[in-house]
Amino acid sequence: MSDAIRQLEPKVLWNHFADLNAVPRPSKKEEGVIAFAKAFGESLGLFTQVDGVGNVIINKAASKGMENRQTVVLQSHLDMVHQKNADTNFDFDKEGINMFIDGDWVKAKGTTLGADNGIGVAAIMAILASSDIAHPPIEALFTIDEETGMTGAKGLIGGLLEGKILLNLDTEDDDELTIGCAGGIDVTCTGNYEEVKATGNLGFRISIHGLTGGHSGMDIQTGRANANKLMNRLLWNLSNECAINIASVDGGSLRNAIPRESIAEIVIDEKHIDTVSRLIETLEKIFKTEYSFTDSKLELVLESISPPEKVMNLDAQYKLLRSVYACPNGIYRMTPEIEGLVQTSNNIAKVSVKDGAFTIKCLTRSSVDSEKTDLANAISSAFELTGATINYSGEYPGWVPRPDAPIIKIMSDLYKELFNENAHVNAVHAGLECGIIGKSYPDMQMISFGPNIYGAHSPDERAQISSVKKFWNYLLESLKRIPVID
């Protein structure tokens, strides 16, 4: 279906997006897409370099008549979130994304689309390849690993870029101009437990699926169900009603995605089968009622399996279920100064219990560093009671808004001029690379914008065709408004 995508307007952008989406580009495995970006710059005869961590930088001189303008950095990240539906057979390491058109939307067949941040990358590629677009001197910065640690932005050294203005193309609402974002930290809790022989004679697999999921920053305020919390709630209730032995739990995947699915295997005594069936049926009705608006396709499935030989000992099971229950998830605090903006949150992204070991992975976000630390400490405390080892990693700073920066007025005025309405100038709860880049380039003015991309970090991800056209026109006009050199 990429041929149909290539016929969309603006064709130059959509063609580069189709080329990009043919290249597997999971976070932490960007070798192929780094080579792709490098070859692209070199094919145009532009100065192209790959820095020490894998970021690709391509320089293009100003178009005729724009030589006296300030250099602008156009920035997007090369990697994409890899999520797929359970019934989708797809190898992200080897296959390109299968795209299709649905009305005014471009979607993918059962997987994430990669519009986050592939549309931004494609737009920059189109500008670099153009011969008729007016633009100032450009430094195109394609970072790596934004989705799983922002190591590309963290590894970007000072002095490599000359531009004093950065346009980040990673915002996902076309009426927003983003000037600040939250920071984050990964909290990973690991531990071991003694496996014992199961006391029951019946094995069951319990599945929770059909949840909406989504971006654990941008969508955390929607109140969508977290599959890990629901599964733990179910197992906690089962363990209080009758004797169950947990053999394994596998829920969620990526740190920055709200978990959509969880699977647990348990062993029970035959005499408890009616209790288990009744309770699961009751909880399914409760969950569907609680999440009827956000997760209308939620389902619980109970199926018989051969009973696993080894299970978690009851003391470890008791402690772990209660620790996960106690662990904060979702909104922790709203920003008091800005209505509707989440200040601090946590996403219980991954729960794995198997073969005598458990791992709980959380992504904690906040625009206030002290509160981020406080929430991370609360999570750690809950799991330290089980004897778990706590590891903090992947910490990145928030992006402090500078509302008086000249580029913000330029972009706001331009939006009003083009679309006859005011843009929403705001900060977001998601993580953007601007805060990290700003540590190495403190004098750089930054702003982020982009087209409507909904359902990011989930197989429901989709990019609005009409909005991409709006974004493209806005981007091109913004290049004409870059100020002259002082």
Catalytic residue annotation: 79, 146
Q: List, in sequence order, the alpha helices (H) in 102-171.
A: 115-129, 151-155
Q: Sort residue 45 into left (φ over 0), alpha (ψ -120 to 50) or beta.
A: left
CB 96 within 8 A of CB 456: no
Report how far Cα 48 is from the mean position of its chain's Cα atoms: 28
Give buried/exposed letters for 124-161 (b at 16+ CB in 10 A, else e). bbbbbbeeeeebbbbbbbbbbbbbbbbbbbbbbeeeeb
Backbone φ, ψ for residue 117 (5° rounding): -120, 30
Q: What's at 43, amino acid-wise?
A: S
Number of C-beta neighbours around residue 289 at 10 A: 8
Tokens 């913000």 locate to 408
Q: What b/e string do you get for 408-440 counting C-beta neighbours within 10 Å, with b at 16 or more?
A: bebbbebbeeeeeeebebbbbbbbbbbbbbbeb
Helices (H) and strands (E) counted in the chain, each on its own, are 12, 23
Return the number of other C-beta atoms located less than 10 Å from residue 384's C-beta: 15
Vertex 281, ends 279 and 285: CA angle to 5°?
115
**How many residues does the structure list for the chain?**
486
Asked if residues 153 and 402 have their Cβ atoms less than 8 Å apart, the reply is: no
Crossing angle, helix 314-326 and helix 227-241, to 10 degrees?
130
Instruction: Please enumerate in sequence order all residues whose Cβ is within 8 A of that of 423, keeping only pairs 6 or more positions apart, or say none.
Output: 175, 176, 177, 411, 412, 415, 416
CA 7 vs. chain centroid, Å, equals 28
Distance CA(405)–CA(425), nearest Å, equals 12
